[in-house]
Amino acid sequence: MAYHRIHGIDVRIARIFNTYGPRMRSNDGRVIPNFINQALVNKSITVYGDGKQTRSFCYVSDMVSGLIKLMESDCAGEPFNLGNPDERRIIDVAKRIRELTNSKSDIIFNSLPEDDPEKRKPDMSKTKERLGWEPKVAFDDGLKRTIEWFRR
């Protein structure tokens, strides 16, 4: 932003929210790869806190199309949220992954880290209005593709 203001550099600013999909590293600590890996081997699925905290997840191909749309726009120097506004409770994500993998995993609960937010949902109104972009891939479809990739 400083280079944009001081030097007039043509920049785009993307605030990227949780993104998931094939080719994620299985050990990167993110919730979807963790849950999938645990479910595929019938290990207990570890949820932090009570699982009522929410997140929104954007499938990778949607994120890429949003980034391209932003880069091709004339919106230099303005921040845009890129993500999916479809908010989900973490416990529901764990249960859905367990269902989609046909896992026998239990769901266990560990203490919530201090700095873990209760809610993480992007406001997409500016992005939708100004860029004409919103995610298209349904959560279940993205999960099925991601699970299949992790199975291989």
Token duo for residue 22: 């094939």
Instruction: Kindly report, residue by residue over 90-148, the tens digit of the pLDDT.
Output: 999 999 999 999 999 999 999 988 888 888 899 999 999 999 999 999 999 999 999 99
Beta strands 13-16; 87-89: pairing state: unpaired
Residue at 18: amino acid letter: N
Domains of the chain, each with CATH number or no CATH: 2-151 (3.40.50.720)
Beta strands 19-20; 13-16: pairing state: unpaired
Cα–Cα distance between 94 and 89 in angstroms, integer? 9
8 A C-beta contact, residue 47 and residue 108? yes
Q: Average pLDDT, stretch 12-27?
A: 93
**Is residue 9's pLDDT more than 90?**
no
Burial of 5 (0-12, 13-18, 19+ CB in 10 A): exposed
Does the global pTM surpass 0.85? yes
Token duo for residue 125: 């109104």
